[in-house]
Each structure stands twice: as structure tokens, then as C-alpha cells.
């Protein structure tokens, strides 16, 4: 069985179908490109409900599909993606691998990203915790970054030009 993991994969096949309750769905078979299960295949199922429609379209785009006709899924195998694989119980109570998320390579999947002002405020609140953590590990505080101005170096006089008359040969 495929282990729970986040792993790079590529779509190899896709098909439209119907759920047991009559809803439209899409299945995409992915081949794992790395890790202990490299070469294995796992299937992701997407749905076309009001709540899932946007994420299903986003997943298709992550895979490389650029069309607007779902009966033509050309390009679905164009891009590598990251799959988040978890275990869940099937209908018989047996564990099975489930593709929970399909994320674009190189991007961070985050439902609510902080705005820059929020991130700055959060960082300021956490600074003391970071310093305490470093101190507990015996590490010095990290050098300041960001809007801190570099220290001015004291002006040093230029070195005098070499005197060719003082060469001892």
C-alpha cells in the first residue's frame, strides 16, 4: 500500500464518470515520481458540486489542462504536481491510500495566507519566542534583516601607492 506522504507525481490518465449517487466526477490516475512508492499509481477523484467545483478546476489546471471542454482533457499529463496522500478506511473497513490534495509544484498551498501587514504583526509577536528558542539552544540571536540600515564603516585612508624606488633589488 502507498504510504501517507506528500510526493511528486504526474497524471497519466483521466476520465469523466458518475458517482454511485448519480453525480458527475472525474478520476485522474497519477504515477508517483519519487519516494518509497516511486512508479506506483494512485487515483484522485474530483467532483463538480457547488462546493468542490473551483478546487476541481484548479486541480485540472495544476496538472496542465488548459481547455474549457471537459470532454477533451488533453494536457492533463503536462505538469508535475505534489499529491498529499493519506490513509482512510474503505467500505469494508480496510485502509486505503487516498489522494487528499493535488497541489502545484513550486507553490505553497494555503487556504488563508496572511497579508503582509498581518505577517509583520505576527512576526513581531513571535520574536520573543524565537529569541527564547535560540537562547535555549545556546545560539546567538540571528542578525537583524529587513528595514535595518547597515552600520556605517569608519572611513579609512587610502593606502599610499607603492614606491618603486624602495624595492631592494
**Per-residue pLDDT averaged across 23-32, rounded?**
97
Quick one: pLDDT at residue 84? 95
Quick one: pLDDT at residue 102? 96
How far lies 32's CA from each of 88, 124, 126, 146, 153, in Å?
19, 40, 38, 39, 54
Question: Which pLDDT tens digit goes with each residue over 36-87?
Answer: 999 999 999 999 999 999 999 999 999 999 999 999 999 999 999 999 999 9
Question: Which pLDDT tens digit goes with each residue over 102-146?
Answer: 999 875 656 677 888 888 898 899 988 888 888 888 877 766 655
The four Cα atoms 29, 13, 109, 34 give a dihedral, to 10 degrees, of: 60
Quick one: pLDDT at residue 153? 46
Kindly indicate the confidence band of residue 149, based on its pLDDT and cuts at 50, 70 and 90: very low
Quick one: pLDDT at residue 49? 95
Question: 97, 87 in Cβ contact below 8 A?
Answer: yes
Q: Is the pLDDT at 148 greater than 90, yes or no?
A: no
Quick one: pLDDT at residue 144? 62
How far lies 111's CA from each of 76, 108, 114, 118, 158, in Å?
24, 10, 10, 15, 56
Cα gap 85→32, rounded to integer Å: 11
Q: Which domains does the chain have, with CATH numbers?
A: 5-104 (2.40.50)
Does the predicted model carry a pTM greater than 0.85?
no
Amino acid at each position: 500500500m502507498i504510504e501517507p506522504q506528500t510526493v511528486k507525481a504526474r497524471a497519466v490518465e483521466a476520465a469523466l464518470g458518475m458517482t454511485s449517487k448519480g453525480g458527475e466526477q472525474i478520476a485522474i490516475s497519477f504515477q508517483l515520481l519519487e519516494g518509497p512508492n516511486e512508479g506506483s499509481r494512485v487515483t484522485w477523484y474530483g467532483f463538480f458540486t457547488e462546493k468542490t467545483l473551483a478546487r476541481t478546476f484548479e486541480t485540472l489546471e495544476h496538472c496542465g489542462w488548459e481547455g474549457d471542454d471537459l470532454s477533451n482533457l488533453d494536457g492533463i499529463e503536462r505538469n508535475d504536481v505534489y499529491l498529499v496522500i493519506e490513509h482512510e478506511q474503505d467500505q469494508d473497513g480496510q485502509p486505503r491510500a487516498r489522494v487528499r490534495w493535488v497541489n502545484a509544484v513550486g507553490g505553497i498551498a494555503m487556504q488563508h495566507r496572511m497579508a503582509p501587514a498581518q505577517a509583520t504583526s505576527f512576526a513581531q509577536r513571535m520574536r520573543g519566542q524565537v529569541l527564547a528558542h535560540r537562547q535555549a539552544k545556546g545560539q546567538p540571536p540571528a542578525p537583524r534583516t529587513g528595514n535595518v540600515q547597515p552600520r556605517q564603516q569608519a572611513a579609512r585612508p587610502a593606502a599610499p601607492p607603492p614606491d618603486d624606488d624602495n624595492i631592494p633589488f
